[in-house]
């Protein structure tokens, strides 16, 4: 594997740079389409490094072998599944884009699943406003592989992602992150606080499961219960609070043999009294009731 990569790199390295003008003799249409992209703007008129001045060959590698025999496999870095080593392809991009957002690319779940930069990006044509994506939007880029999430975002309660108000990348870092599920924040909660600041607190009276992880009660993508809840109320609360010392033994029908159903559990249930589920700043809010 390592030897193969080395051989591939050496192979291309043995070729020589022939310059954009020569590429355009045979690839005029590609060259024109490429002209509308940010890379073209940067490389053609404002090159900052020797590599950028190579234009086409900064990504595709030196082209002399390819010029001699355009059908020879591997003579140029082609970014297609049958045109060479994946690590080599990604390596061409990482030569300029290491660090920053790519700090956690190596070892990320997308890298481990053998994704190429070009599975999400196409620098040859300007299809998206930003980020040189393969398709017009971030969401469609992700949903092209993650069909399940499209279904989830169509459930009754969901954040406005398919509506175009926010994107998958508001919560996820597709190039890898140190946290689970490629999250942007250091934790699930930090990710959520980015937009729901009022949940960050601090609170005089905290509700332990809220501080621990929003996912204790919420789904991230969609739910058929109100407010993205994992399950219906009052069962949501009763999962953790079975033995209550309530003024009246509040029970739902059938939750305990012989228990009486208390009307106060109807409708919005526990929240009729415990309104401050996410934490309270009232001096007398220990029971999350104000």
Sequence-distant (6+) residues with CB within 8 A of 54 are 17, 20, 43
**Structure-token pair, residue 123:** 């620098």
To ligand HEC, the closest distance from the beta carbon of 256 in angstroms equals 12
To ligand HEC, the closest distance from the beta carbon of 132 in angstroms equals 4
Q: How far apart are CA 15 and CA 74, in angstroms?
A: 11
To ligand HEC, the closest distance from the beta carbon of 98 in angstroms equals 8
Contact residue for ligand HEC among 8, 12, 55, 87 (CB under 6 A): 55
Give yes or no for residue 240 binding ligand HEC (CB under 6 A): yes
To ligand HEC, the closest distance from the beta carbon of 253 in angstroms equals 12
Give yes or no for residue 106 binding ligand HEC (CB under 6 A): no
Give yes or no for residue 236 binding ligand HEC (CB under 6 A): yes
Q: How far apart are CA 176 and CA 182, in angstroms?
A: 5
Give yes or no for residue 53 binding ligand HEC (CB under 6 A): no
Q: Which residue has the tokens 């003008």?
A: 21
Task: Count residues binding ligand HEC (CB under 6 A).
Answer: 131
Give yes or no for residue 12 binding ligand HEC (CB under 6 A): no
Give yes or no for residue 279 binding ligand HEC (CB under 6 A): no
**Structure-token pair, residue 126:** 């300007």
Give yes or no for residue 206 binding ligand HEC (CB under 6 A): no
Q: How far apart are CA 258 and CA 59, in angstroms?
A: 73
Contact residue for ligand HEC among 5, 9, 11, 78 (CB under 6 A): 78
To ligand HEC, the closest distance from the beta carbon of 150 in angstroms equals 7
CB atoms within 10 A of CB 171: 21
Q: How far apart are CA 172 and CA 84, in angstroms?
A: 29
CB atoms within 10 A of CB 176: 19
Measure CA of the first residue to CA of the last residue in the chain; give whole Å: 63
To ligand HEC, the closest distance from the beta carbon of 83 in angstroms equals 3
Give yes or no for residue 39 binding ligand HEC (CB under 6 A): yes
Q: How far apart are CA 132 and CA 125, in angstroms?
A: 8
To ligand HEC, the closest distance from the beta carbon of 103 in angstroms equals 10
Give yes or no for residue 8 binding ligand HEC (CB under 6 A): no
Identity of the residue, 130 or 258, whose beta carbon is nearer to ligand HEC in the bound complex: 130
To ligand HEC, the closest distance from the beta carbon of 23 in angstroms equals 3
Give yes or no for residue 34 binding ligand HEC (CB under 6 A): yes
Per the omega criterion (within 30 degrees of 0), is the bond before 179 cis? no
Sequence-distant (6+) residues with CB within 8 A of 290 are 275, 276, 280, 282, 284
Q: What angle do CA 180, 217, 166 make, to 5 degrees?
A: 60
Cα 236 from chain centroid? 28
Identity of the residue, 1 or 161, whose beta carbon is nearer to ligand HEC in the bound complex: 161
Identity of the residue, 246 or 282, whose beta carbon is nearer to ligand HEC in the bound complex: 246
Give yes or no for residue 259 binding ligand HEC (CB under 6 A): no
Give yes or no for residue 103 binding ligand HEC (CB under 6 A): no
């Amino acid at each position: 594997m390592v030897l193969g990569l080395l051989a591939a790199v050496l192979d291309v390295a043995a070729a020589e740079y022939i310059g954009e003008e020569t590429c355009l003799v045979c690839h005029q249409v590609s060259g024109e389409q490429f002209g509308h992209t940010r890379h073209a703007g940067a490389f053609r008129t404002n090159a900052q490094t020797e590599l950028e001045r190579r234009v086409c060959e900064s990504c595709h590698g030196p082209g002399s072998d390819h010029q001699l025999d355009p059908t020879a496999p591997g003579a140029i870095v082609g970014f297609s599944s049958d045109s060479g080593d994946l690590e080599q392809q990604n390596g061409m991009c990482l030569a300029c884009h290491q660090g920053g957002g790519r700090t956690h690319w190596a070892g990320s779940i997308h890298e481990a699943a053998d994704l190429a930069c070009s599975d999400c990006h196409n620098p040859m044509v300007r299809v998206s406003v930003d980020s040189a994506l393969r398709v017009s939007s971030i969401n469609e880029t992700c949903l092209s592989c993650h069909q399940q999430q499209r279904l989830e975002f169509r459930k009754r309660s969901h954040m406005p992602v398919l509506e175009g108000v926010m994107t998958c990348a508001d919560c996820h870092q597709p190039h890898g992150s140190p946290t689970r599920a490629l999250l942007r924040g250091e934790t699930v909660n930090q990710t959520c606080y980015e937009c729901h600041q009022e949940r960050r607190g601090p609170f005089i009276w905290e509700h332990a499961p809220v501080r621990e992880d929003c996912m204790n009660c919420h789904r991230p993508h969609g739910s058929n219960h109100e407010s993205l809840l994992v399950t219906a109320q009052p069962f949501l609360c009763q999962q953790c609070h079975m033995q209550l010392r309530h003024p009246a033994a509040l029970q739902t029908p059938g939750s305990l043999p012989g228990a009486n159903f208390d009307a106060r559990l109807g409708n919005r249930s526990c929240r009729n009294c415990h309104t401050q589920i996410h934490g309270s700043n009232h001096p007398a809010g220990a029971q999350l009731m104000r």
